[in-house]
Every structure is written in structure tokens, then in C-alpha cells.
Amino acid sequence: MSSLEHTATAPAGATTSPALDTGTLLDHYVIERELGSGGMGVVYAAFDTELQRRVALKVLRDGLTDQAQQRLLREARAMARLTHPNVVTVYEVGSANARDFVAMELVDGESLAEWLRAERRREHEILDAFISAGRGLAAAHGAGMVHRDFKPHNVLRSKGGRVVVTDFGLARDAADPLTATLPVPPTSGPPPTDSALSDLTVPGSLVGTPAYMAPEQWSGGRLTPATDQFAFCVALWEALSGERPYRGITLEALREEVTAGPDKLDMSKLPRRFRALLRRGLAPAPAARWPSMDALLARLQRRTRRVA
């Protein structure tokens, strides 16, 4: 697996913080091991000495601007108020030893991307997992949040089969026009690899993952729940057919394909009963997509009953 699948580009101003060694005490959390890192912080498995439970502890990077730092902490607190079985639970937002952290539920399992790669999955298994993830997105939308970086790597599946959406590090308040509007990402430069298109946050801005980005993310438009719906449909198409709908090998080519819309896409490997549903979710104009994640999921569940 490429290292790009684990590392997102840090925003301007952020610096790489010294790693926390095993046994380090951060407030009432004892660091066990590093789980992964991203543009905004490093995630550790840790033990909560007060409540006697293991957690995932996200420690924010040094060097973030005050504005970025406060926004991230504000968003984490908003997520802490959201309780849903398909959204990772945020336990606490705090600061200790000059380090800000977010304590979250530690899910014992693997990402949906890893689960899909491990073996050929049956159609009903894929649909069940995505419907659960969709419910998590719908719950976040109901709380006024937009994820902005939904993809199989940001969905966890526990060993018991529970599916949760995680990594709301790029989430924004859908009602805030300042934080819901993005700069235009760069489209020039050397062609990235396929894994880069799949897993790398676009350099210079927190916009999401190119392979799953909606047209409004490429153009710097306002992001809404329909933006997450687009990414969800890309991911579901990929899971059902084995190929992503848009397969440009450079950022510029991918952007052109996404903007052109789904009418000329090759649907031969996609089960027929899902074609119209996903094509609507991939409409270039947000208003032309499904009215909400709930509406999309209701239609998807009807298709699922046909499969069963």
C-alpha cells in the first residue's frame, strides 16, 4: 500500500510535531502507539486512565494558525454533540502540555477500503456497509455538518460488522459561507499516480481527495451535503463495479471528466439496477442530485431489497 494512503499534505504553516513515545502521559491519556497521521494531526491509540478505556487520540500539529486551530477544535466539539451509531464518537476536546487533542472512540477493525480489498465481497454486503455509512453522513448533515472528504479510507468497519464514518478533520459547518467555500486547487504539475489521485489531499488547500471530489470542490464553489453525496456515489460505484466512474490520470484530466458529468461514463461493469441512481448522484449541478442523503438511501434500500 502506498504511503500516500496514510499521509495527507499538511496545510501551510503546520509543522511536523515530535512523535509521542509509548508511555507518554497527555492529560489523563497514556500513549500506546501511533495509528496514523494526516494534514492536521497525528492519531494515537491511547488509554484513558480516568475512565479505564482505550481511545483514539488525535493530537493537532504544531504551527497551525490560531484561526485554523480554533476552527478545528470548534468542529470537534460540534461532532462531540452528535451521537449516532454510524459516526465515530468524540469523547473529549482538550489541551495539555501545549498540545491540543481530540479523544475519540477507538474502532477495532479496518477501513472500508481495506475490507473491500481483502476479498471479493458479495453485493448485499457492500450495500449494507454503504447504507450504514450513508446513515452516518445523513446524521452529520442533520447536525449542519458537511464531511468534505468522504471515501472508503474514512469509513471504519469493526470486527463485529459495525460501520462508522470517521475523519471529520475536513468537515465544515454547512451554514457558514466562509468555511464552506474553497480555494481553487492546482491542476498543473507532474501527473500524480493513481494512488495519489485516490488518497492525497490536494496540496495547498484542504479540499478533499481528488478521485472523490465533486465539481464544486474543483471550482471553489460552496460545499453542501450534496458534495458528500457525490463522493458517496463515486465510492459506491467503485465498490460495486471494481472501477471508479472517473479515471483521469492527471488532476486536470480528472477535473474535466467530473465537470462534464456522467452521461458518457462506461457503466458496463455496474449492475443495471444501480445505474440511474448513481448517475443522478453524480450530476455536475448539486441541485440536480438527490434532494438529500436520506432520499438517496431510501432509493438504495429499495434496490437492496430486490437483491435480497
Residue 150 confidence (pLDDT): 95
Pairing of strands 53-60, 41-48: antiparallel
Distance between CA atoms of residues 20 and 23, nearest Å: 8
Strands, DSSP E only, in 24-121?
25-26, 29-37, 41-48, 53-60, 90-96, 99-105, 109-111
Distance of alpha carbon 64 from the chain centroid: 21
Higher pLDDT, 39 or 50: 50
Q: Judge whether 185 and 205 are in contact, CB under 8 Å.
A: yes
Does the annotation mark 173 as catalytic? no
What's the chain's length in residues? 308
Residue 119 confidence (pLDDT): 95
Complete domains list, the chain, with CATH: 24-105 (3.30.200.20), 109-174+208-305 (1.10.510.10)
* Burial letters 161-174, b for 16+ CB under 10 A, else e: eebbbbbbbbbbbb
pLDDT category of residue 186 using cuts at 50, 70 and 90: very low
Residue 78 confidence (pLDDT): 79
Of the candidates 27, 48, 100, 149, the residue annotated as catalytic is: 149
pLDDT beyond 80 at 234: yes
Q: What is the pLDDT of residues 108-124, one digit of tens each?
A: 999 999 999 999 999 99
Residue 137 confidence (pLDDT): 97
